[in-house]
Chain A
Amino acid sequence: MTANRFGRDELGRMLHVQSHVVREALPDDFAASTMAAVRRAKAVATQQNAVRASASGSRFGLAGVALASLVVLASLAALVLQRQESEQRGSGAGEIVAATPTQPANADTVIAMATSPDETPSIRTVTLKSAIVAPIQHEAEALLETGRDVGLTIVSALPAQPRAWTEYLAAGSGGIGGVDGIGGNGGAGVSPVGTGH
């Protein structure tokens, strides 16, 4: 046992003070890169939800077929997304993915093609809260106001409920047939939204 001018609190004080000396700072853009990684995780989760929705929708005839096709779109979109994000990270450009926060289990997914001012097409995967067309348009327009792209065409939509998807088709909004690749002209869905295209 020892006792002198350094008590247990003194050692604690030294550790506390010296912790400020050894603290290191992160790069200025660290928070931005972290949030980009978080959004990528969000996009992946959205894609996984689309796959799960497809599996559950296969029991619903036409809706099931449509949902299965959308999974292909979602997979392609994710690939394009990853590649473009990788390129954009290198150039320091802005984000591609814009996702509205919602409960993933109840989410609808819209796969949209956007055209940037330099005419470079990009894919947006947008998670929406509603299953009907008008709110989708509304959400897409709201997205355009916050995004940097000037044109956005929804090429496909994946409602959470198969019934809503059937209603979507019956409303004459188009199907998924005729999509010329991802975001090709003549694709399905609501188009155009916003300016461009």
Chain B
Amino acid sequence: MNTPLADAAHAAHAPSDERPIVAQAHAGSLDAFGKLVTRFQGGVFNYLLRRLGSRCDAEDLTQETFVRAWTSMATYDDRWRFSTWLYAIATRLAIDHARSARQRSAAGQHEWSDASARAVAKNGTLDPAAPLMEREARRNLWLVAQQMLGEEERSALWLKYAEGFSSDEIARTLGRSSIAVRVMLFRARRLLAGALAERGEGDEAMIAVQEGADVP
């Protein structure tokens, strides 16, 4: 549970030039809200892209995030950074989207399996360039994370290292406890460290992930 002191600390993290713009948008200014869109659209998009793995879906949900933010502006609690609230909306939309996608996927899975099985039988592999792409992907930890981590772990990792969120802010964004987020981050880093070690860089590339380092 967050204390008032902790809340005040989060609010203090908000850039000073952001607060008046947020206040104007909160009062109904579309111009001010437009500035917030311009400021945060890239971050929200990349967060959703990292979470969903689809550019088209990320673009759609980014736009929807801002529409929801505008229509729900009255519920924004200025004790938290605007970005924390915005990313929480994006997270909820991503969860809903993933749920819908799973339902659609389950309906079409049988048909896809037949088609892919035929392609594999004909070519020996689904995509001849797959091994090359896999090697390329492993050069970047985020692409490794895309393959190895779940949606929520990827999200936590991205918010931490790409967006600079604190553990408390990540917890609020994802709707998890702060401890759960720290465990999530620990596990994600451990998996990535293992992946780095497997890249053939031997002991020198071994990442130190001390047991329980992130767990209070």
Contact = CB atoms under 8 A, between A and B. Distances in A.
Given A8-B213, A23-B42, 20 more contacts: A4-B203, A4-B208, A6-B193, A6-B207, A11-B193, A15-B162, A16-B161, A18-B141, A19-B142, A22-B50, A30-B41, A30-B45, A31-B41, A33-B63, A37-B63, A37-B66, A37-B67, A41-B71, A42-B30, A99-B30
A128 B140 CA distance: 53
Interface stretch (B32-40, B96-104, B113-121): B32-40
B142 A15 contact: yes
A41 B28 contact: no
Closest CB pairs A-B (n = 6)? A101-B28, A19-B162, A15-B161, A22-B142, A6-B207, A38-B70
Interface residues of A, number: 38
A103 B28 CA distance: 7
Nearest to B161: A15
Given A19-B162, A26-B42, A30-B41, A35 B208 contact: no
A32 B89 CA distance: 20
Interface string A9-32: 011101110110111111100110
A91 interface: no
The A interface is mostly helix, strand or loop, or mixed, namely helix
Interface of A: 1-8, 10-12, 14-16, 18-19, 21-27, 30-31, 33-35, 37-39, 41-42, 45, 99, 101-103
